[in-house]
Structure 1
Amino acid sequence: MAKEFSYEIVEEIGVLSQNSRGWQKELNLVSWNGNPPKFDLRDWAPDHEKMGKGVTLSNDEFEALKKLLLSM
């Protein structure tokens, strides 16, 4: 049985890519189930009604990732 959940895209930060079906890999700030927003990287359908699997990061995890990328 699928567990229901809610989400709100609080801020659309940017699009990394788009596929031929119009789905976009996006970095957004998303509030899941009414919790404080987190950084979220995943594929979204054009209407944001469907989503693919993704990665959600806390502020601390996002800062650590940013430092890793900048050190490359």
Structure 2
Amino acid sequence: MAELKFEITKNIGVLSESARGWTKELNMVSWNEREPKYDLREWNPDHTRMGKGITLTEEEVETLKKLLNGEEIEDDIDEDDFV
């Protein structure tokens, strides 16, 4: 099996961190020296290992953004907890 080459060209942000230190991140990643794409997956702390994830083109991210902006997402925040 051929070696998988990747380069994180831009870190956009961290969505969450697990108890074991892995972070779910949105990055721009170049896979096998191709044009970078948006990439959402978990990474270990030094970015040498990764979990399964998805890659999206710019057009797919724009469509996802439109879908999410039109969707009313329920939150689990109890407003009584705020002073």
Q: TM-score range by the shorter chain?
A: over 0.9
**TM-score normalised by structure 2 residue count:** 0.83
Distance 1:3 1:68 in 2: 36
Shift of 1:4: 1.3
Give the count of matched residue pairs.
Answer: 71
Query: What stretches of structure 1 of length at least 5 have no aligned partner?
Result: none
The one-letter code sitting in structure 2 at the alignment partner of 1:43 is: E
Larger RCO: 1 or 2 (CA < 8 Å, sep 6+) = 1
Distance 1:37 1:60 in 2: 13
**TM-score normalised by structure 1 residue count:** 0.95
Structure with bigger strand share is 1
The answer for the alignment partner of 1:10 in structure 2 is: 9
Distance 1:66 1:48 in 2: 26
Distance 1:71 1:37 in 2: 27
- In the TM superposition, 1:1-72 aligns within 5 A as 2-72=1-71
Aligned identity (percent) is 58
The one-letter code sitting in structure 2 at the alignment partner of 1:11 is: K
